[in-house]
Amino acid sequence: MHARDLTSKELEEKIRDNYIAILPIGSCEQHGPHLPITTDIDLAEFMATEIARKNKAVIFPSLNFGYSWVWTGLSGTITLSQETFKRVVYELTESIAKMGFDKILLVNGHDSNKMALKYVIRDLSEHYDAKFLNIFYPNMNEIYAKYMESEKWYGMFHAEEFETSLMMAYDDLRVRKDNLVSEYPDKPKYYGIDESPLWDVSQSGVFGDATKASKEKGYLMMNDFIEEISQLLKD
């Protein structure tokens, strides 16, 4: 159920009925030659929709931009600073808490948002009695190992088998299958300990092997993620 389809009075009814509020959060950035620049937000919305199918939840309009500094300058990339991103998420989530929702779920589709979101919900918890959860592909390592044939790039994934499979499950027509590539670029000596970006590391913008992706894998993984999240919400 989407908040955009409800009136203010109807939202009040959902609050009284103890519905969970979901805020999908993603990014707008390059995802190789085969995936759309909205991949992260698309997958966050995919996950949010599947959560709402199995739980009493209202999905609020998504935050389409996140912290994407590592791709700055590449076509399609729009980034917020860490400070601005944290402030925007705080105020959006605060608004939902002030409505009266006492269970608020941030569904994140972008890895580089995770740290900021962790601190946002800590700050919110000091001022509001609501329960805040920050979700990013729960139990991911186990689920990744269960279904993926390819390895991550030094523990990182981007536009490869994992994300491409999920996008195929979400909307197969938006994946340019003729452009699937595999790339495991050399890791710069100082990457991760200095300011080195990713835009000059990979030629394709892919870190991993997108050629092994499939729609079936995407469905299976999303089903497992939703089971994990539903159990968290039940607990």
For 140-182, how does the pLDDT look when each residue is reduced to its tens digit (9 = 90+)? 999 999 999 999 988 889 999 999 999 999 999 999 999 999 9
Q: What pLDDT is recorded for position 202?
A: 82
HSE toward the beta carbon, residue 65, CA cutoff 13 A = 14
Q: What pLDDT is recorded for position 145?
A: 95
On whether the CB atoms of residues 204 and 148 are closer than 8 A, the answer is no
Give Cα 34 distance to the centre of its chain.
18
Amino acid at 60: F
Q: Residue range 74-94: average pLDDT? A: 95
Give the model's confidence band at 3: pLDDT under 50 very low, under 70 low, under 90 confident, else very high: very high
Q: At residue 42, does pLDDT exceed 90?
A: yes
Which ranges constitute the DSSP H helices of the chain? 8-16, 39-54, 82-99, 114-125, 140-147, 161-171, 215-234
Over the Cα atoms of the chain, what is R_g?
A: 18
On whether the CB atoms of residues 67 and 115 are closer than 8 A, the answer is no
Full 3-state SS string of 95-133: HHHHHCCCEEEEEECCHHHHHHHHHHHHHHHCCCCCEEE
Q: At residue 200, does pLDDT exceed 80?
A: no
Q: What pLDDT is recorded for position 72?
A: 85
Indicate the pTM of the whole model: 0.94
CA separation for the pair 169, 161 (Å, rounded): 12
Query: What φ, ψ does residue 85 adopt, rounded to 5°?
Result: -60, -50
Q: At residue 197, does pLDDT exceed 80?
A: no
Query: What φ, ψ does residue 28 adopt, rounded to 5°?
Result: -125, 105
Mean pLDDT of the chain: 94
Give Cα 146 distance to the centre of its chain.
20
CA separation for the pair 44, 175 (Å, rounded): 17
Q: State the Cα torsion 30-35-38-40 to the nearest 10°.
A: -90
Q: What pLDDT is recorded for position 182?
A: 96
CA separation for the pair 182, 186 (Å, rounded): 13
Question: Which domains are seen in the chain, by residue range?
Answer: 3-234 (3.40.50.10310)
What is the DSSP secondary-structure string of 147-165?
H--SPPBTTB-BSSHHHHH
Query: What φ, ψ does residue 14 adopt, rounded to 5°?
Result: -65, -35
Measured CA angle at 47 (ends 42, 52), to 5 deg: 125
Per residue in 44-79, pLDDT (tens digit) is 999 999 999 999 999 999 999 999 998 887 889 999
